[in-house]
Structure 1
Amino acid sequence: MEITWLGHSCFQIRGKQVTLVTDPYTPLQGSSEGEQPRLSQINARIVTVSHNHPGHNNVSAVGGTPYIVRGPGEYEISDVLITGVASFHDKEYGKKFGRNTIYVIHMDDLVICHLGDLGHTLQETQLEAVADADVLLLPVGGEHVINAAQAAEVISQIEPRIVVPMHYTSGESQGVLETFCKEMGIETITPQPKLVVTPNTLPTETQVVILTSHT
């Protein structure tokens, strides 16, 4: 499996038979997110949308006429099993920013968990649904999502094998990656262009992988 970060909360996950894109976005004009990701050049079979905000729901930008997954529930598409888990965009049970969906994706004998714009640490029922995650894609930017310290707490709740931070490149989040790395005890930040992983190459202990944004 190959995982590429396209910026914000958007990833391209390429399995043996299926390509999946999470939270396709259209950056606001003048934002520091960079240019519109070239999603039209990606033919995906599946697109997941964690919540219906402009930075996460640009499904028309993805090529290949994909199947769109929105909201909680169980989905099986091209031998990929996806479970949408209800959560909130803020710690006030959605009163500020609304609802959010966590996606647990079973593909190629791996379990990928995309937390979307999670705004709180996990409740017991949510933790049960995501407890088997091998690779965790989680926001660390604070402000409208969990901050670096909360992200570290979520990691300790789930105990995944690989952690990939996201949602930290906007103007309001400068320096957040460094703060998150300090929370995780990482002294040197060495971004890599993509994550290639198989069940046999999973680390025995939790490892943080910093990806370069491909916009």
Structure 2
Amino acid sequence: MIITYLGGEFVKVQFGDITIAFNPPAKESKLSNSRFGADVVLSTLNDLDMNGTETIGQGEKMPFLIHGPGEYEIKDVAIRGFATESMYRDEKRINTVYTILLEGMKLCFLGALGNPVLPSVVKEEMDDVDILFVPIGGEGVLTPAEANKLAVQIEPRLVIPIHHEGIGVQGSLKTLLKEAGEEKAQSVDKLTIKKKDLEGKEGEVVVLSKS
């Protein structure tokens, strides 16, 4: 599996011949975009910074679009979406938290989550999360302190911060690393990982440089 961070909350996950895109910005967004073909596009919040599903496509390849809560299965990838709260742009809205099962790994993408207190049904889904994508930028989504506290509660093997490049409060990443005691964490261009690589890891923060 290869994970690439494209700024904002835009993330690309590749495994085998399947590509998943999370929260691509719309053309109208001030966030930079990156065009590529994807099989599945997930949007957690109906906002131009995170709902640019029309920007993901290549030739005649049209992705499967997921915009909210529910259960989905595409090409042996099992996806579940759960409604939570966001205050992005100071407006209370529904943010969908997604869990994705693929290659024997469980990913959880929190999107623009604004409330660190998860609904009980979402808490139950947080068992055995391998990789957690958590927003840290404040301004309607989790602050670094809230993000770190929630990550400790969920107990994933890896934590990947999002919502900090081109969006959110400046310096959020540095603050999160201090909160997590990971000040010496080095950023990498992309994360290439297999299930066996996760053995023995407990809440390790992986910083991905914006590609």
Aligned residue runs from structure 1 range 64-75, under 5 A: 64-75=61-72
Report what 1:101 is aligned to: 96
Aligned-pair identity in percent equals 34
Q: Give the drift of 1:141.
A: 0.5
Compared with structure 1, are the counterparts of its residues 154 and 27 closer, same or farther at alpha carbon in structure 2 (3 Å cutoff)? Answer: farther
After TM superposition, what 4+ stretches of structure 1 lie above 4 angstroms from structure 2?
Answer: none
Instruction: Work out whether 1:61 is the aligned partner of 2:61.
Output: no
When the two structures are aligned, how many residues end up with a matched partner?
A: 205
1:173 is paired with a residue of what secondary structure?
coil
Residue 180 (structure 1) aligned with residue 176 (structure 2):
yes
**TM-score when scaled to structure 1?**
0.89
Unaligned runs of 5+ in 1: none
One-letter identity of the residue aligned with 2:53: V
Partner of 1:210: 207
For residues 31-87 of structure 1, give each alpha carbon's deviation from its aligned partner in whole angstroms, at most 9, with x where no partner exists. 5x4xx3222xx1110000101100001111111310001111100011100000111
Give the Å deviation of 1:172. Answer: 4.6
Q: Does 1:144 align with 2:143?
A: no
Displacement of 1:201:
0.4
Q: Which amino acid aligns with 1:53?
A: D
Residue ranges of structure 2 left out of the alignment (5+ in a row): none
Counterpart amino acid of residue 147 in structure 1 = T
Match of 1:201 in 2: 197
| C-alpha contact (below 8 Å) 2:137/2:167 kept by paired residues | no
- Asked whether 1:88 is paired with 2:85, we answer yes
Taking structure 2 as the reference length, the TM-score comes to 0.91
CA distance in 2, matches of 1:175, 1:28: 25
Q: Deviations over 1:74-103 (max 9, x none)?
A: 000111000001111039xxx933110001
